[in-house]
Amino acid sequence: MDHTLLIDLISIPLFTGVIGYITNWTGVLMLFRPIAFHGVRVPGLRLLFPYLPRRVRILPLIRFDGRLGWQGIVPSRADKMASISVDKGLAKLGSITDFYRELEPDKIAEHLAAVAQAEIRDVVEQIMQQENPQLWHDLPPIIKEAVFARVRAQLPGIIRTITDEIGENVDQLIDAKLMVIRYFVQNPELLNELFLIMGRKELRFMQNFGFYFGLPMGFVLVGVLQLVHQWWVLPLGGIVIGWVVNWIGVTMIFEPTFPRWWVPWKQGLMLKRQGEVTEKYSEMVANRVITLQNIGNELLTGPRSDRTLQMLEESLRPAVDKAVGPARAAVRVAIGPREYDHIRSSVATEATAFAPIAFNDAEFSQRQSVKIYRFISEQMREMGPDDFVEMLRSAIRQDEWLLFFHGGALGLFAGLLHLGIFGL
């Protein structure tokens, strides 16, 4: 055998196999790391940035401040991926009303009432001290205790009314899509965790597949080189192999959606694990995303929290009247109608102080998360393979080309490196 041909038969498949592995290994890293952008400033890039095509500006490769570097595709697209995940995933599983209903408003009301019983005395005391300290100071202790007792007695019914009102109007009080987007933007590492939990086996396969595919393709490339003895065959072949190895790897994970007898792997690898992925996805969303704590924070501090406060005022205002009881008219005259109405409004504001305590109760929140987990897993099991794969793939589909381009670039480098070491 010709000495040059022997070297090619050994070195080229080895190069293509190793580069195939490195391509897919680094491609997986590119998806998730680093979480934050790392790079160096390039002179003039900040001025040039606004004039670049939008498709270039949104790459996780450059920043508007003139830095060139890299950020993982998933964390760099946290807002977009969270948005797509809601549209293609959570929205198909149920509305925010469905999730709230699964949290059992009656149980939430009981828990809030139990917490409020311990807090409401301080709330009433603080309000009266702020709004009319003299009147409160002059009241006999027995009257004050009567006020506390009346408020405590009304709490369970009032809170039950509030939780029912939230359930009937939760779509107006919470923008579920914005809630999920904001949560993942603030915690991009959780978006990474979500993808890794669901696709860890497929991502490991994709890394190894780079070698399994690249090695035999190296022998094909040797054959092409014997037919077309030109220097550009190796760099061009490297580009093709690097691009194709990533494309086939991603395709094998998600396609075909339905089993096909003529496809060697029959069906998308992740679809074969629909049951296992469903369990992991449901557990992650129930324990980290659609939680009682997150819903409570959204109600009390989210962009629509003013509506929640207004609803609380309207629900709690009668509680002040009932607490004052028959003396309501006399109290209104004593302190003035405006001051009296101000006290009633302050009750709602101050009452929100004990709500976070209830929503942040880890043990209670965990018990409620089990119900969300069951609801999500049941809904996902009823999904057809097409909806299931769309939910999982849609978040990265628009950026897959970056992985393919990355594979082609490494293939080009491998071809040029082989030429530099062994020559033509």
Q: Does 166 lie in the same domain as 42?
A: no
- The answer to whether position 235 is within a domain reads no
Look at residue 339 in the predicted model and tell me its pLDDT. 57
Q: Does 168 lie in the same domain as 50?
A: no
Q: Does 368 lie in the same domain as 305?
A: yes
Look at residue 319 in the predicted model and tell me its pLDDT. 60
Tracing tokens 């003013």 back to the chain, one arrives at 306
Q: Does 163 lie in the same domain as 286?
A: yes
- The answer to whether position 61 is within a domain reads yes
Q: Does 130 lie in the same domain as 56?
A: no
Look at residue 30 in the predicted model and tell me its pLDDT. 82
From first to last of its 424 residues, the chain has per-residue pLDDT tens of: 567 778 878 888 888 888 888 888 887 888 888 888 888 898 888 888 888 887 777 778 888 888 988 888 878 877 777 777 677 666 667 777 777 777 777 777 777 777 766 666 776 676 667 666 776 677 677 777 776 776 677 777 777 777 777 777 777 777 777 787 888 888 888 878 877 777 777 788 887 888 888 888 888 888 888 888 888 888 898 888 888 888 888 888 888 888 888 888 888 888 888 788 888 888 888 888 888 788 877 877 778 777 777 777 666 666 655 555 555 555 554 555 565 555 555 665 665 666 666 677 777 777 778 888 888 888 777 777 877 777 767 767 777 777 788 888 888 888 888 888 877 6
Q: Does 41 lie in the same domain as 164?
A: no
- The answer to whether position 123 is within a domain reads yes
- The answer to whether position 114 is within a domain reads yes
Structure tokens at 36: 């934050």
- The answer to whether position 384 is within a domain reads no
Here the contacts of 270-278 (C-beta below 8 Å, separation 24 or greater) are 270/198, 270/199, 270/202, 270/389, 270/392, 271/385, 271/388, 271/389, 273/201, 274/385, 274/388, 275/381, 277/198, 277/199, 277/392, 278/377, 278/380, 278/381
From 93, 98, 57, select the one nearest 76 (Cα to Cα): 57
Tracing tokens 């890299």 back to the chain, one arrives at 70
Q: Does 362 lie in the same domain as 321?
A: yes
Look at residue 276 in the predicted model and tell me its pLDDT. 81
Q: Does 64 lie in the same domain as 97?
A: no
Contact between 210 and 411 under an 8 Å Cβ cutoff? The reply is no
Look at residue 424 in the predicted model and tell me its pLDDT. 65
Give the containing element (helix H, strand E) for 339: helix 337-351
- Give CA separation, 137 vs 120, 205, 320, in Å: 18, 74, 18
Q: Does 99 lie in the same domain as 47?
A: no
Structure tokens at 154: 């009304």
Look at residue 313 in the predicted model and tell me its pLDDT. 66
Number of domains in the chain: 2
Q: How many CA atoms lie within 13 A of 417 on its CB side?
A: 15
Q: Does 105 lie in the same domain as 62?
A: no
Q: Does 104 lie in the same domain as 65?
A: no
- Give CA separation, 95 vs 118, 137, 156, 177, 186, in Å: 34, 49, 27, 10, 23
Tell me the whole-structure pTM to 2 decimals: 0.68
- The answer to whether position 403 is within a domain reads no
The residues that bridge with 39 in the sheet, in sequence order, are 69
- The answer to whether position 348 is within a domain reads yes
Give the range of the structural domain holding residue 55, as residue numbers without chain letter.
Answer: 37-70
- The answer to whether position 335 is within a domain reads yes
Q: Does 154 lie in the same domain as 118?
A: yes
Classify each residue of 137-160 as buried b or exposed e, where b means 16 or more C-beta atoms within 10 Å of its C-beta: eeeeeeebebbeebbbebbbebbb
Look at residue 382 in the predicted model and tell me its pLDDT. 77
Look at residue 294 in the predicted model and tell me its pLDDT. 82
